[in-house]
């Protein structure tokens, strides 16, 4: 997009909300993230096409079914059909649903863990039917994630379910609980991955980060009779001490927020990072009185599969070669969860 001062900036329009801009057309932009220089989401967003006539804009809900409002009470709120609401064909199936029957549920902090978890799953159990539950800690539109689009297109993911204020998945859900039940009963998933959408919020404080909800997702999976698998956020390259080895995000979410038993897959990493991660996990298990159960996972043979991932692997601006421990830890969680099938 070209601004009034002549600058050209990257911009994104969600055509289902605003319509698709045409060359030369005036658009109203939100440039807050662009001006702040954010990484994920650091672009202008099209808010409206002010010169469009009403008949050239996307149709409203009209007679379409659904009364679940996402991005509620914002100018771009959108109304969708919830997978479990009364007008849904799945309502009767989910009305009294209350049991995941041991369904493995991998919980991860960052969206960038998703493709690595999926690689680990399919390396262990080729053809496993995997569903992704996208929470609203990061991006709200599922369409923002090229990762999800690629994994769906290649068949590595069977479905995406968007939760809370997030929207645009194959199925919409109000809570993580209803999304997990829909993943099992509607999608027929063998295994589920729960993580926030692209982008995350952190303040450098003990509790001020969006990944706290990873602990709540563990609680949801365990409460419903699933098998929670806590994927560790690991780094051997992050310059911040609080994220070296096992990130404080994982230590807080799983050690303080999660209150039900869960498996903690630990990748067998070489060198100093392996020693550090092992000691940190031992401390985490001890802190929780054994509620978290450690499972050591071989990962040497996962490297070739990760390098062949259909989705380019990047986390916090770093590639696989920059920070292999990050992706090996996520793949280890996927491998362990698949071994439970």
Place of tokens 């969006």: 210
Does 261 lie in the same domain as 191?
Answer: yes
Band of residue 4 on the pLDDT scale cut at 50, 70, 90: low
Residue 115 pLDDT more than 90? Answer: yes
Q: Are residues 163 and 283 in the same domain?
A: yes
Do 325 and 188 reside in the same domain of the chain?
yes
Q: Do 27 and 124 lie in a common domain?
A: no
User: Does residue 4 form part of some domain?
Assistant: no
Of 120 and 32, more confident: 120
Q: Is residue 68 part of a domain?
A: no
Domain assignment present for residue 2? The answer is no
- Whether residue 37 is predicted with pLDDT greater than 80 in this model: the reply is no
Does residue 329 fall inside a structural domain? yes
Same domain, 20 and 118: no
**For the domain that residue 248 is a member of, what is the CATH number?**
3.40.50
Domain of residue 219, residue span: 91-339
Q: What is the pLDDT of residue 270?
A: 92
Mean pLDDT of 170-190: 98
Total count of domains within the chain: 2
Only one residue has tokens 């392996």, namely: 274
Do 119 and 261 belong together in one domain? yes
Going through the chain in order, the beta strands assigned E by DSSP cover 11-12, 28-30, 44-48, 68-70, 78-80, 104-107, 130-135, 159-163, 171-173, 191-196, 227-230, 234-235, 245-246, 262-267, 292-297, 314-315, 318-319
Does residue 64 sit within a domain? Answer: no
Mind listing the pLDDT tens digit for each residue in 80-89?
999 999 999 9
- Look at residue 40 in the predicted model and tell me its pLDDT: 67
Q: Are residues 215 and 275 in the same domain?
A: yes
Contacts of 17 (CB under 8 A, 6+ apart): 58, 76, 78
Domain assignment present for 35: yes
CB 255 within 8 A of CB 246: no
Same domain, 312 and 262: yes
| 125 and 258 housed in the same domain | yes
What pLDDT is attached to residue 289?
Answer: 95
pLDDT of residue 59: 65
186 and 235 in one domain? yes
Does 155 share its domain with 238?
yes
Q: Has residue 67 been placed in a domain?
A: no
């Amino acid at each position: 997009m070209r601004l009034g001062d002549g600058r050209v900036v990257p911009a994104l329009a969600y055509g289902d909300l605003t319509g698709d801009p045409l060359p030369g057309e005036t658009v109203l932009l939100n440039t807050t993230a662009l001006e702040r220089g954010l990484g994920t989401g650091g672009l202008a967003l099209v808010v409206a096409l002010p010169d469009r006539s009403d008949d050239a804009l996307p149709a409203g809900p009209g007679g379409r079914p659904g009364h679940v409002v996402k991005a509620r009470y914002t100018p771009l709120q959108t109304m969708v059909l919830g997978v479990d609401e009364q007008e849904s064909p799945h309502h009767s199936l989910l009305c009294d649903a209350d049991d995941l029957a041991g369904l493995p549920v991998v919980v991860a902090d960052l969206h960038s863990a998703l493709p690595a978890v999926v690689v680990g799953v399919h390396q262990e159990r080729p053809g496993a039917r995997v569903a992704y539950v996208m929470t609203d800690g990061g991006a709200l539109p599922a369409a923002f994630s090229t990762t999800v689009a690629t994994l769906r297109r290649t068949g590595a993911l069977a479905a995406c379910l968007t939760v809370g204020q997030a929207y645009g998945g194959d199925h919409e859900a109000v809570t993580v609980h209803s999304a997990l039940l829909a993943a099992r009963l509607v999608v027929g998933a063998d295994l589920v991955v729960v993580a926030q959408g692209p982008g995350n919020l952190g303040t450098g404080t003990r509790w001020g980060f969006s990944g706290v909800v990873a602990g709540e997702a563990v609680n949801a999976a365990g409460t419903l009779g699933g098998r929670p698998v806590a994927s560790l956020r690991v780094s051997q390259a992050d310059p911040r001490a609080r994220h070296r080895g096992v990130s404080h995000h994982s230590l807080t979410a799983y050690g303080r927020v999660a209150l039900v038993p869960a498996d903690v897959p630990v990748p067998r990493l070489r060198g100093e990072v392996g020693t550090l991660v092992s000691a940190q996990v031992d401390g985490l298990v001890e802190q929780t009185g054994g509620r978290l159960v450690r499972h050591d996972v071989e990962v040497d043979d996962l490297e070739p599969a990760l390098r062949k991932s259909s989705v380019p692997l990047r986390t916090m601006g770093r590639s696989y070669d920059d920070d292999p421990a990050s992706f090996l830890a996520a793949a280890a969680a996927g491998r362990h969860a698949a071994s439970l099938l």
